[in-house]
Amino acid sequence: MTSRPPRPRERGIPEATVARLPVYLRALQALQDRGTLTVSSEALASAAGVNSAKLRKDLSHLGSYGTRGVGYEVEYLVYQISRELGLTQDWAVAIAGIGNLGRALANYGGFGTRGFRIAALLDADPAMVGQSVASLDVRHIDNLEDVVRSTGVSIGVITTPAASAQGVATRFVQAGVASILNFAPVVLNVPDGVDVRKVDLSIELQILAFHAQRRADGDGRDAERAGLELM
């Protein structure tokens, strides 16, 4: 490809940066709770577990919110990041699949604190429908479209068994939900423009196992083996 079409190059915050903003936000809120007024990139970076140059570059994408010689004003930065992430508005979330995991999520208090409100619970099991979980009635999945429309849901969380996940995802999309968080161990197929993120515990464990095995293989004879094997 030589002449790359004009590519309007939307005001872009790099994806890697977006993924770290919530981490900074949390660290900042902890500082705020402790009454700290300003913080240096060094201190905030250390609280967030990243390199300070990276932190500064990340924040520079949002604008110039620091003061040289001083640092960043905590409260102002909290506001700027919140705004950038869209947390100054309220997001209604629906959870589909009220089993072990769905119930844990529904009962979890930590979401409401940050702009997310669980607005609907959906399940296919007639025995489940009508029950009250975390002060919400579980509705039948067949009512998905209605529920989404009437409660203004814009984020869908899928905690159904793997076999049902694609179907639920498709229905979410058809109902106008363009942001999906998927816990089922399947690759979801959705149209362009729909944003799917997955949380997959099995995968995380497998990655841990890979590194653990690496460590175990090498222990003691690491240097020698690595050296030899390259010859």
Partner DNA sequence: ACGTGCTTGTGAAAGCATGCACAAAGTGGG
Partner DNA sequence: CCCACTTTGTGCATGCTTTCACAAGCACGT
Q: How many binding residues for a second copy (CB under 8 A)? A: 72
The answer to whether 194 and 216 are in contact (CB under 8 A) is no
Min. distance of Cβ 139 from a second copy in angstroms? Answer: 21
Q: How many binding residues for DNA (CB under 7 A)? A: 28
Closest by CA position to 157, among listed 140, 174, 182: 182
Residues in region 32-91 near a second copy by CB under 8 A? 47-49, 84-87, 89, 91
* Phi–psi pair at 47, nearest 5 degrees: -65, -30
Q: What residue type is assigned to position 17 of the chain? A: T
The only residue of 28, 31, 72, 172 in contact with DNA, by rule CB under 7 A: 72
Q: Is 101 in the site for ligand NAD (CB under 6 A)?
A: yes
Which one, 120 or 168, has the nearer CB to ligand NAD?
168
Q: Is 74 in the site for DNA (CB under 7 A)?
A: no
Q: Is 4 in the site for DNA (CB under 7 A)?
A: yes
Q: Which of a second copy, DNA, ligand NAD, none does residue 22 bind to, with CB < 5 to 8 Å depending on kind?
A: a second copy
- Within 8 A by CB and 6+ apart from 231, the residues are none
d(CA 45, CA 66): 14
The dihedral formed by the CA atoms of 78, 92, 158 and 199, expressed in degrees to the nearest 10: 0
Q: Is 159 in the site for ligand NAD (CB under 6 A)?
A: yes
Q: Which two tokens stand for residue 16?
A: 């890697």
d(CA 73, CA 223): 47
Which one, 104 or 226, has the nearer CB to ligand NAD?
104
Which one, 55 or 96, has the nearer CB to ligand NAD?
96
The only residue of 125, 176, 199, 221 in contact with a second copy, by rule CB under 8 A: 199
